[in-house]
A and B are shown apart, each in its own frame.
Chain A
Amino acid sequence: MGKWSVRQFLSNRQQQSFVISLGAFCASLLLVALVCVLGLIALRGSDYFWPRPVHSLTYTDMSGAEHKVYGQVGMGKVSSQYSAGIERLWLIRYSDAAYPFGNQLILETPDIQHLAVAKEAADILLSDGTRVFAKPVSVDMPGQSAQPLTALEQARLQVDALQQDIEQIRTQYLAPIHRRLAELDIRDVDDDAPARERLSREFKEWQSKVLTLETQVAEFRLNVQFSDGLPFAIALNELDQLNYTGQLNVWGKLGVAANGVWAFLTESPKQANTAGGVFPALFGTVLMIFVMTILVTPFGVMAAIYLNEYAPDNSMTAIIRICVSNMAGVPSIVYGVFGLGFFVYMVGGQIDELFFSDRLPAPTMGTPGVFWAALTMAILTLPVVIVATEEGLRRVPDRLKAGSYALGATKLETIWHTILPIASPGIMTGVILAIARAAGEVAPLMLVGAVKFAPNLPFDGEFPYLHLDRQFMHLGVLIYDGAFHSQTDMRSASMMFASCLLLLLVVFVLNILAVILRKRLRQRYLRGY
C-alpha cells in the first residue's frame, strides 16, 4: 500500500470533476492558441490586400527643412529599441521626385506638421510591382499631349491593342523566321544564300514594324504630380492599377482587395518576392503534392499489403515494422540530404549518363527538380501511409476474406476486390496525413528542387508539357524567404503572411477533399461492419 493516495483528498465525484475541468482547461488552451495563430496569420495576411488611403504628409527632417509628400501610413508603433521615451513612431511609405517608386520613412510625432487623407492622390501600381503615390493630372497620347484624365480609359485600351499587335507579330512572324534562320545555321547554308537573304530581309521588316509600334506605345503617358507639385510621367504600358484609395468606401476597398487577391493568385512574384503574386509557388506546391501523392500511395499501400497479408509472422517482419514507424521520426532535413545525395546525384546522374549523355556536362535529371522533390517527400511520408493502411487492412473482417476465397477468388483477387475497397478509408486517412505533412515541409525541399525564384513553370505548351525535371517555386520557401526581408517594410512583410494564409488554405482544401472522399468510402464500404 502506498502512503499517499488521491482518495484521502478528493471524493470520487471531486476526482471526476477535477479531471474534467483539467481536460477542459487544456483543450480550451489549445483552442485559444490555434485561434490566435490563425487569427494573426489571417489578419496580417489580409493586410496585404486591404487598400490603405493615400495621405498627404508635411514633415520636418533632422536639418529642420520641411517636406511635402504623398504616402501611406504603416502599422504604427515600430521597434521599441529606438523609441525609448517616445510614445509613438510613424512608419511611412512615400513617393516624391527623388524617390518616385517609393521610399520608407520613420517619424516621431513632433516631426509631423500635417497628416490628412489625400482624396486627389492615387495609389498607382506598376506592372513591375512597384508603387507610386501621386496625383494624376493628365494623359499624353500620340500627337495630343495633356488630355484630361477622362481619356485615360480609352488610352489604356489603345495601349493594350497596340501591345497585342506587337505580341502577335512576335509570335506569328518573328519567332518562326528566327527558327528557320536557325535551321539554316544548322545546315551550314552560306551567308549569302538567297533563302537566307530573303528571310533576314523579312525579319528586318517585321522588326522595324515592332519598333514603330513600340515608339507609339511609349508616347502614351500618364502625367502625375507629387505633393510638392513636381511632375512625373508614367508610361501607360507599365501601369497596372490606379486606385484613389482615399476616396474609397468599404465596398470600394473590398473591390480593390478582391482584385488584389486575384492578382496574388494569378501573377508571379515581383521585386524579389516582396510584391506581386504567388502563382508559380502555388502551382509548384500543388503539383509537388500531387506527384508525391501519386508516388506514395501505391508504394505505401503495397508495402502495407505485403506486411499485413504476405509477410510471415516472424522477427524479421517485426523489425521491418519498427523501422517503418521509426522512419516517421527521422528529421526531415535528413530526407532532404538523402534525396540530394541519392536521387539527384546518384540516380539522376546515372540517368543522365545513360539517356542524356549528349547534353552532358549540363545535367538533365542530375539536378534538383520537381520530380526528385516529390520523390523525396514520398519517402518522407511513406511511413504515415503504411501505418494508416495497415490499420485499415486490419479492420477487414476475416469472414469477408473467407467469403471471397469460398467463391473461388485467389489471394490477389481477394485483396483487389474485397480487402482494398474496405481498407480504402484507412488508405485515405494515410493520404490525408501525408499531404498535411508534405505541405508543411520546407527544409528538405530546398535541397532537392524548390527555389526562391524559377524562371519557368514546370508546365507549359512545349512538349512534353509537364517538365518534372525543372526546379519549382513553393509557398513554404516563399514564406521562408519572406522572413529575411525587411520586417519594417509593411508590404513585403505582409506578403509573407499572405503566402502563409494561402498555404494554410491549400492544406485545408486538400484535407477537406480527402476527408469528404474518405467519408464517402466509409459509407460505401464500412456501413454495417
Chain B
Amino acid sequence: MLKLFEREQLDLEGLSPEQTAIEVRDLNLRFGQKHVLHDINMRIPKNRITALIGQSGCGKSTLIACFNRMNDLILNSQTSGEIVIEGRNINHKKENLSLLRSQVGMVFQRPNPFPMSIYDNVCYGLRLQGIKQRRQLDDAVERALHEAALWEEVKDRLFDSAMTLSGGQQQRLVIARALALKPSILLLDEPTSALDPLTTLFIEELMGELKKRCTIVIVTHNMQQAARVSDYTAFLHQGELVEYSDSDTLFTMPDKKQTEDYITGRYG
C-alpha cells in the first residue's frame, strides 16, 4: 500500500509518559442507568492529532468531554477509572476544574461565541484568571487570533460584536478563545460539521499548524476528514473502544471486522 503522507510513527502501546498527553485507564461512564462508556483504555500521544470516529450515539462526545470533565455538568453522570493528564489523575475529586479547563481547551460543534465584542470573547478566559492589564490582554488577543488564522480578517474590527462574523470565522474565534489560555490539549467536537467545505478545509489546515503547539483530539463523523488530518484514529462502537491505531493502518488495513464494516460504509 502506498503511503500518501510520510508520518513518523510512534508505538501506541509503548508510549513513554513524556510522549503521552492523555492516558485513559479503565474509564467507565454512566448517565443514570445508561452505561455509555465501557472500560476505555487508551494513550493519546503528545503533539499529534487523534481522531475519534464511530456511529452517532456511540459515545464520542461523551469521551472527549471526559478529558476536561464537562460531563460533570450533567446531573446524573457517574465516572470511574483514571484519566492522567500532565501527571495527575483529573478524575480525582480535588481536581481544580478551572485550571484543568484552561489546560484542556474545547471547541463545540456549532460555533458559540459570546454576544460580546471579538476582543472580549478572546479575553474571556484570561479575565477569569484575573488578568486585567491592557497590554497583556492586547498581546494575548493578537497572538491567539494569529494562531487561529483570524487576525488578518478581524484586526480592524476587534471591538465589533462577534455575532457579525461568518460561521467559519466564528468557529476560528472560538478556537482563538481557547488558544488564548495556552492549552496543552485542544478538544474539537465535530468542529466543522456546521461549516461549508471550503471553510472546513481551512480549519483542517489550521489544525496541522496547531499540533506544533498542542495535542489535538478531534471527533468527526467524516471519515475522509479523519483520514486527511489525523495521525491516529480510534474507532468507538456502542461505548467500547474497538480499534485504536495510526490512521494509515486503521483506514487501509483495519484489524477488526466491525471497523472494516464501518469505514467501508456497511453501516453507520
Residues of A bordering B, CB below 8 Å:
397, 399-400, 402-410, 413, 417-418, 421-422, 524-529
Contacts and interface: CB of A to CB of B under 8 A. Distances in A.
A403 B101 contact: no
Contact of B178 (A405, A407, A409, A525): A407
Interface in B108-147: 108, 110, 112-116, 124-125, 128-129
A422 B114 CA distance: 9
A408 B114 CA distance: 15
Contacts of A527: 115, 161, 163
Interface string B88-111: 000000000111111001101010
A408 B164 CA distance: 25
B125 A408 contact: yes
Contacts of B110: 399
Contacts of B174: 403
A406 B70 contact: yes
B73 A402 contact: yes
A233 B163 CA distance: 75
B218 interface: no
Interface residues of B, number: 29
Nearest to B75: A313
B102 A402 contact: no
A394 B247 CA distance: 43
Interface in B54-110: 68, 70, 73, 97-102, 105-106, 108, 110
A409 B127 CA distance: 10
Contact of A405 (B73, B113, B161): B73
B181 interface: yes
Nearest to B98: A408
Enumerate the 6 nearest inter-chain pairs by beta-carbon distance, A residue then B residue, closest first.
A528-B163, A407-B125, A406-B106, A408-B98, A408-B101, A399-B112
B137 to A, nearest CB: 14
Contact of A526 (B112, B115, B177, B178): B115
Given A402-B108, A527-B163, A528-B163, A408 B97 contact: yes
A406 B128 contact: no
A421 B120 CA distance: 13
Interface of B: 68, 70, 73, 97-102, 105-106, 108, 110, 112-116, 124-125, 128-129, 161, 163-164, 174, 177-178, 181
B181 A400 contact: no
A402 B115 contact: no
A404 B101 CA distance: 10
Given A407-B105, A408-B102, 4 more contacts: A406-B101, A406-B178, A407-B101, A529-B115
B72 to A, nearest CB: 9
Contacts of A525: 115
A399 B98 CA distance: 18
Given A407-B125, A407-B181, A408-B128, A400 B112 contact: yes
B140 to A, nearest CB: 13
B115 A404 contact: no
A183 B195 CA distance: 83
Contacts of B98: 408-410
B101 A399 contact: no
Contact of B114 (A405, A410, A413, A418): A418
Nearest to A422: B115
Contact of B128 (A409, A421, A422): A409
Nearest to B100: A408
A468 to B, nearest CB: 36
Contacts of B68: 406
B101 A400 contact: no
15 contacts: A397-B112, A402-B73, A402-B108, A403-B174, A406-B101, A406-B105, A407-B101, A407-B102, A407-B178, A408-B128, A410-B98, A413-B128, A524-B161, A527-B161, A528-B115
Contact of A404 (B97, B114, B163): B114
Q: Which of A409, A421, A524 has the most CB of B within 10 A?
A: A409
A525 to B, nearest CB: 5
A403 B128 contact: no
Contacts of A528: 115, 161, 163-164
A527 B181 CA distance: 27
